[in-house]
Structure 1
Amino acid sequence: MAAIELRNIVKVFSDKRRGRDLLTLDNINLDIEANDFVCLLGPSGCGKSTLLNIIAGFEQATSGRTLVGGKQVERPGSDRGVVFQQPTLMPWLTAIDNIAFHLKLKGVGKAERHHRAMEFIDLVGLRGFEHHHPSEMSGGMNQRVGIARALLMNPSVILMDEPFAALDAQTKLEMQEELVAIWQKRRCTIVFVTHSVDEALVLGNKIVVMTKRPGRIREAVNFDLPRPRDITSPEFNDAKRHILALIREESTRLAQAS
């Protein structure tokens, strides 16, 4: 049984202001295995984030079935941690209290919350900054807090929606390396939304290429190049050319159809 099963997923948004329906996702079928690092790759507006939100339980598909761990997804759950493009931290809380906030909601005492959170502070490399507020840390550090917060819930699946998009190039590279190291240590299943071919190839062991809206799966590319990945290697660039060719073919097909 796959960790995530998507069966005939269709999503239609109703645009009441303009009196029309917008088909966003069309007949998505995908199996994601346990411990996979899957990157959803495609142009803006193709429905990547919508598909992620359906897996998370924030959105409901118009039709089709979404299963995580064999169970139908009907709402958000602790089996799925979510990391957004912006870390959405509470500015009045320190890093450690942001990370451990859901434990506070469960009634766990402060000493125990902080004890449990420190494991994840160390995991994301924030030792020494645990008592800093978001305004006192960089964007990359705040995103580490968001990742640690998701990990503390001990989910089987982590869903990430372009979490490094707002970071500078150097910080983005560092965060990509950090995330791969965390994934290798924790062995959870990650679904990562991106529009960058290079980022998908650096991170993923499976790259799911989506079409323009309505989003369909153009191809799921398995990519098992050893880590850390050499972006100058022939194997990396062969895969990059293949994925870029898929994207160009799709763009050409749509242009001819219009």
Structure 2
Amino acid sequence: MAYVQIDDVSKVFTDARRGTELLTLDRISLHLEQREFLCLLGPSGCGKSTLLNMIAGFESASSGRVSVGGRQVDQPGANRGMVFQQATLMPWLTVWENVAFYHKLQGRGKRERRELAQAYIDLVGLTGFENHYPSELSGGMSQRVGIARALLLNPDVILMDEPFAALDAQTKEELQQELVTIWQKSQATIVFVTHSVDEALLLGTQVAVMTHRPGRIRELIGVDLPRPRDVTSPRFNDLKRHVLGLIREEACAANRLARAL
């Protein structure tokens, strides 16, 4: 049995004020083994983040089933860590306090929390910034704090919603490389939402290309390129051309549908 199972999942959003319904996801099925790195890629509005939120337990399916480790997902849980596009740090807490905040809620003492946080602060390259506040950090450093906070939960699944989208190119490249290293060490399964074909092919063991709304899985592509990945290699660029072709077809289909309405 796959570790993360998404079976025939659909999601309908109801607008009670207008009396309308919007089918966002349509009969999605995906099965992920442990230690997979799945990148979700597709046009804006295709339901990538909605699907991620279902795995997290923030959204429920209108039909179908989402399960992690054989248990149906019906609420958030500590076995799933979430990293958002913005780090959403608490500005009144230092780096180490932000990283260890969950364990404060669990009633653990300050010394124990500090020790637990330090290993993950070191892992994401923030050694020396433990006592800095979020206002003193760059965007890339803030995202590192968010990743460390998610890792400290020791989750089986890490869910990432375009975490590097707002960063400059150099910082993004550095964090992409570090994320692969962290994933290789952590043994976790990662589901990563992105709009970037290059990012998906650099990071993923699989790339799921979604259709325009309602979102379906257009194609699931295995990426067996050696790491570190060379974006100039013929194989990388063959995959890139293939994925770009799928996305262009979906964008054209969405435009035709918009004109017909």
TM-score band w.r.t. shorter chain? over 0.9
Residue type of the alignment partner of 1:173 = E
Residue in 1 that maps onto 2:212: 212
Distance 2:38 2:167 in 1: 21
After TM superposition, give the deviation of residue 43 of structure 1 in Å.
Answer: 1.0
Distance 1:183 1:7 in 2: 25
Give the superposed CA RMSD: 1.0
Contact 2:10–2:27 (8 Å) recurs in 1:
yes
Q: Unmatched 5+ residue regions in structure 1?
A: none
Q: Unmatched 5+ residue regions in structure 2?
A: none
- For residue 149 of structure 1, give the secondary structure of its aligned residue in structure 2: helix
Residue in 1 that maps onto 2:244: 244
1:59 aligns with 2:59: yes
Distance 1:217 1:231 in 2: 25
After TM superposition, give the deviation of residue 255 of structure 1 in Å.
Answer: 4.9
After TM superposition, give the deviation of residue 247 of structure 1 in Å.
Answer: 1.5
- For residue 219 of structure 1, give the secondary structure of its aligned residue in structure 2: strand
Matches within 5 A, 1:155-194: 155-194=155-194
Deviations 1:167-194 (A, max 9, x none): 1111111110110110011121000000
Residue type of the alignment partner of 1:28 = I
Q: Count the aligned residue pairs.
A: 258
After TM superposition, give the deviation of residue 33 of structure 1 in Å.
Answer: 1.1
Distance 1:161 1:20 in 2: 27
Distance 2:156 2:206 in 1: 18
Matches within 5 A, 1:27-106: 27-106=27-106
After TM superposition, give the deviation of residue 243 of structure 1 in Å.
Answer: 0.6
Segment drifting more, 211-220 vs 15-24: 15-24
Residue in 1 that maps onto 2:10: 10
Residue in 2 that maps onto 1:154: 154
Distance 2:252 2:218 in 1: 13
Deviations 1:35-80 (A, max 9, x none): 0000000111000000000000000011100000010001000000
Normalising by the residue count of structure 2, what TM-score does the alignment of the two structures yield? Answer: 0.97
After TM superposition, give the deviation of residue 253 of structure 1 in Å.
Answer: 4.1
Contact 2:209–2:243 (8 Å) recurs in 1:
yes
Distance 1:89 1:256 in 2: 41
Segment drifting more, 247-256 vs 46-55: 247-256
Contact 2:210–2:217 (8 Å) recurs in 1:
yes
Normalising by the residue count of structure 1, what TM-score does the alignment of the two structures yield? Answer: 0.98
After TM superposition, give the deviation of residue 252 of structure 1 in Å.
Answer: 3.8
